[in-house]
Amino acid sequence: MRRTKHGWGCNDLHTLYLGFGFSHREGGKHRVYIHREYTELRATVARQNQLPAAYVRHAVALIDRLVLLQGEKQQGGPE
């Protein structure tokens, strides 16, 4: 996903978010993901077979932020 932002679908992001501990709820034409421990980490993903690149950029940035927060927690930093 870092190399190419195109060609990803909602099921790909679904697998990614669930793998990193996010829960989801179904909306009308979207899925809403919220991390179970860091509830400020949220994403809304349209249910499309090919998503615009912005969804993928957001997912990569959100996972990077999650990894940073988890690292800070392990080192006893701010929660």
Q: What does the pLDDT look like over 29-55, one tens digit per residue?
A: 999 999 999 999 999 999 988 999 999
Which positions ≥6 away from 15 have C-beta within 8 Å?
none
* One-letter amino acid of 17: Y
Closest CA to 59 of 74, 44, 49, 79: 44
Q: For residue 8, what pLDDT is reported?
A: 95
The label of the residue with tokens 């829960």 reads: 23
Domain boundaries defined on the chain: 10-74
Closest CA to 10 of 45, 52, 35: 45
- Mean per-residue pLDDT over the chain, rounded: 93
Q: For residue 51, what pLDDT is reported?
A: 95
**The pair of three-digit structure tokens given for residue 7, joined into one six-digit string:** 């060609």
Overall fold of domain 10-74: Metal Transport, Frataxin; Chain A (3.30.920)
Q: How confident is the model at residue 78 (pLDDT cuts 50, 70, 90)?
A: low
pTM: 0.88
